[in-house]
Amino acid sequence: MKSKKPLVPYLFWMAAFVIIPLGMVIYYAFTGKDGRFSFSNFRYIAENSQVYLDSFLIALISTAICLLIAYPLALVMMRMSPRGQRMMNILVMLPMWMNFILRICSLEVIFRSGGVLDQILGFSNPVNHTMAAVVIGIVYNYLPFMVLPLYTVMSKISKSVLEAGRDLGCNGWRLLWKVIFPLSIPGVISGITMVFVPAASAFVIGNRLGGFYLIGDTIDSYYTKSFDLNAASMLSFVLMVVIVISIVVMNHFDKDDDIVLV
Amino acid sequence: MENRVSGTDVLIRLEDLCKSFDNEQILKSVNLYIRDKEFVTLLGPSGCGKTTILRCIAGFETPDSGNVLFDGKSILDTPAHERPINTVFQKYALFPHLNVFDNVAFGLRIKKTPEKEIRQKVRKMLAMVDLKGYERRPISKLSGGQQQRVAIARALVNMPRLLLLDEPLGALDLKLRKDMQLELKNLHRQSGITFLYVTHDQEEALTMSDTIVVMKSGTIQQIGSPQDIYNEPANAFVADFIGESNIFDARMEEDNKVYLCGSVFDCVDPKPADLVDVVIRPEDVEIVPAGEGTVTGFVEASLFKGVHYEMTVSCGGEQWIIHSTRSVEAGNTIGMRVAPENIHVMKRMFPTESNHLEAKVTEVSEEGEVTLEIDGESVTLPATGTYEQDQVLSLQIKPEDLELCDPDDAQFTGILDSNVWKGSFYEMIVISEHRRWLIKSQMDEQAGSEVAFRFATGKTVL
């Protein structure tokens, strides 16, 4: 560990693909069309405030639903035989073997008016082009990112700690609340982070399933349609700041580094 | 095996307890009772079922058959969290997310004890296990010994009727283990709680227990006080497991006379059978000038062991271990004497001198070989007489005519049930699918492991 030479390629990578682009985003966010320093791009934030709010609301709801689905699933997986656990892991990962855009397009085919769902129901479904469709799309896409960290943390809780809980008088619910849940908090936090962050900046999903732009789609369209690099950069910058703040807040709940899962 | 008098103060009683995992019988009809306030130790090698007994009592395992009575009532239908029993786990199993105080308070909080009372009880308990001032420490900042004490405090603070301890000192170093043994013994006295302790360390069992239960492969071998177990072991397994001992094959022709190592020794036991095992503790062998003893031996080695010298003496082809405060240098010839009351005669674990089995002739070849079917296995041996197809032979296989071998060359396989050094060979009892085998071997093997064996090559066994 004495030599820092092995780090050189990574430092180069960081510089080329993280720090320099970040600097460029900040540069464009705070310059006007004429290339001079300016706060004029702040108006884009005001213009898109509703899009921001919608995006974060959808991301929050989706993250909560992911947690509600994934937590019991991880609990069940924890009690399975090793073979069953491997099977479940594969099943959870399976959708990710397919391309993201393709999966969203398939959902679109299901939900769109006159699509698969309408044909099955025999009437036009109320989900198409609503926030609900977007939430379904996000949950469908990012559920594995919630299940895996939860499962990983829970499978590390030793059987004897659970037995100790029962030995000291916990019934099933108490055991869940007093022992399993506190020990799974690191998994909950990384699951929330791993779902919330991409969900907040998701694009394509809102456009395809909701018929409206989320902040990701908005940034995309400023850049690709109106070639307004300054607007896109300012919106990205703000999105990044909000996400960083939310991660810092989340990690505050997990500041106890002493937690060792024996 | 149960030879204690069962009083009215029996706290827990196991009746014909059986348990199997993956078709392997871990407990074979265990009967045991534990009196109120008693310190009982389950002692045996790993895999003997002692932990399974504990887990059946705690409620983490359900026995296949049999019953667990607590205060005379079956608790099999009571879930673990409702049993008035607490456990100290082998690897402590402390809650990593709680500090010392909250770990100890856990059980009381679940029982909704008033917080003021909890504080009082936890403080008192922590003082008892010498952890005053550690209340706010996270578990990960404690040493092994401290974690162990938290685990004991966490269980004891609930004042259970019965405390189960599953090898609680196994992970500690020797010095700490000795201290903790004394502390546990004190805690037992002070708390008035019944302790059921599991260990594979015979010294620990002898030091702490009121009653020791020696187990081997799912059955109880002996129940008794530490003195009984040490001085009057029920069989060669117990003698070998508890302390160092000389165990020999011996013969008895009449009461109070036992024939071993080529001489007749006086003893105080009636004759239980022709063939017996004899155990002599190394400290019970008296060294006398050559010619004056019952037998004469040649000192092969003498080692200083601190309290005593340990001498290895060969005598009539057998190896004796002698502990004495007086050293006799290697190379000397000595006489050995044993007081009659220090010769313990035990029934043999394997009742006959050789293996009796039946074999069917399946093939007689012209090269002087004969193929037999034994227990469904095909075995080819050199023929020493004339045999006919389908003839059924009754064989007596001497234990020295079987040898352990590579699994690839094996004719039979089985689980090594016991393995006792008998002065010049290991006496092994192997349980195969069809029978118990007696094998004499020069090789040591771990009891409980799977062994492969065959008819010794180059020996005519037919």
Comparing alpha-carbon positions, the chain A residue that sits nearest to B106 is A168
pLDDT score for B5: 57
CATH number at B10-231 = 3.40.50.300
Q: Using CB atoms and an 8 Å cut-off, which of residues 218-247 of chain A contact chain B?
A: none
Q: Measure in Å the smallest separation between the Cα of A254 and chain B Cα atoms.
A: 11
Is the minimum CB–CB distance between B168 and chain A shorter than 8 Å? no
Tell me the mean pLDDT in the region B112-127.
Answer: 94
Contact B60 A182 (CB under 8 A): no
B36, pLDDT greater than 80: yes
pTM value? 0.82
Residue B197 tokens read as: 């302790």
Closest of A188, A191, A190, A196 to residue A56, by C-alpha: A196
Identify the bridge partners of residue B310 per DSSP, sorted by sequence position. Answer: B303, B323
CATH, domain range B244-347: 2.40.50.140
Q: Does A167 touch chain B (CB under 8 A)?
A: yes
Instruction: Supply the pLDDT for residue B1.
Output: 44
Residues B26-35 have a mean pLDDT of: 94
* pLDDT in the model for residue B459: 61
Would you tell me how many other CB atoms lie within 10 Å of the CB of residue A11? 11
Nearest CA in chain A to B81: A169
Up-side HSE of residue B242: CA atoms within 13 Å toward CB?
32
Residues of chain B above pLDDT 90, percent: 55
Is the Cβ of A166 closer than 8 Å to some Cβ of chain B?
yes
Pair A178, A165: CB distance under 8 Å: yes
Q: State the pLDDT at residue A259.
A: 42
The residue-averaged pLDDT of B194-222 equals 94
| Residue B84 half-sphere exposure toward CB, CA atoms < 13 A | 13
Mutation test of the interface with chain A: which of B62, B85, B110, B142, choosing the one with the most A Cβ atoms within 10 A? B110
Tokens 């008033």 — which residue? B114
pLDDT in tens, B339-391: 999 999 988 888 888 888 888 888 888 777 888 888 888 888 877 777 788 88
CB within 8 Å: B141 and A258: yes
Tell me the HSE value of A156 on the side-chain side, using a 13 A CA sphere: 15
**Is residue A164 within 8 angstroms of chain B, CB to CB?**
yes
Could you tell me which of B459, B421, B457, B460 has the C-alpha nearest to residue B440?
A: B421
CATH 3.40.50.720 applies to domain A31-252: no
Nearest to B81 among A160, A170, A182 (CB): A170
Name the minimum distance, in Å, from the CA of B411 to any CA of chain A. Answer: 34
Judged on CB neighbours under 10 Å (0-12, 13-18, 19+), A62 is buried
- Please list the residue range(s) of chain B that carry CATH number 2.40.50.140: 244-347, 355-455
Which positions in chain B touch A259 (Cβ < 8 Å)? 96-97, 140
State yes or no: pLDDT of B80 exceeds 90.
yes
Cα distance between residue A246 and residue A185, in whole Å: 16
Contact yes or no for A163 and B158 at CB 8 A? no
Q: What pLDDT score does A2 carry?
A: 60
Report the distance separating Cα B144 and Cα B175, nearest Å: 13
Contact B138 A258 (CB under 8 A): yes
Residues of chain A with pLDDT under 70: 1-2, 254-262
| Residues of chain A with C-beta less than 8 angstroms from the C-beta of B111 | 169
Q: Which residues contact B343 (CB under 8 A, 6 or more apart)?
A: B258, B265, B266, B267, B268, B269, B278, B280
Q: How far is A215 from chain B (nearest CA, A)?
A: 39
Q: Are B347 and B328 in contact (CB under 8 A)?
A: no
Q: Across chain A, where does the E strand assignment appear?
A: none
Determine, for residues A168 and B106 on separate chains, whether the beta-carbon distance falls below 8 Å: yes
Average pLDDT, chain B: 89
**Do A72 and A151 touch, CB atoms closer than 8 A?**
no
Helix, strand, coil share (%) of chain A residues, nearest 5 = 75, 0, 25
Are the CB atoms for B360 and B394 separated by under 8 Å? no
Nearest CA to B202 out of B56, B48, B81, B53 is that of: B48
Residues of chain B with CATH 3.40.50.300: 10-231
Q: How far apart are CA B456 and CA B445, in angstroms?
A: 17
Nearest CA among B77, B82, B83 for reference residue B63: B77
Q: From the list B95, B139, B140, which residue is nearest A179 (CB)?
A: B95
The second-level CATH assignment, the architecture, of B355-455 is: Beta Barrel (2.40)
Per-residue pLDDT tens digits for B238-289: 998 888 889 999 999 888 999 988 889 999 988 888 899 999 999 999 999 9
Read off the pLDDT of each residue in B194-212 and give the average, rounded to a whole number. Answer: 94
Instruction: Note whether B58 contacts A167, CB cutoff 8 Å.
Output: yes
| Interface test with chain B among A153, A160, A168, by most B beta carbons within 10 Å | A168
Task: Say what the pLDDT of residue A113 is.
Answer: 87
Task: Test A168 with B60 for CB contact under 8 angstroms.
Answer: no
**Is A261 in Cβ contact with B96 (below 8 Å)?**
yes
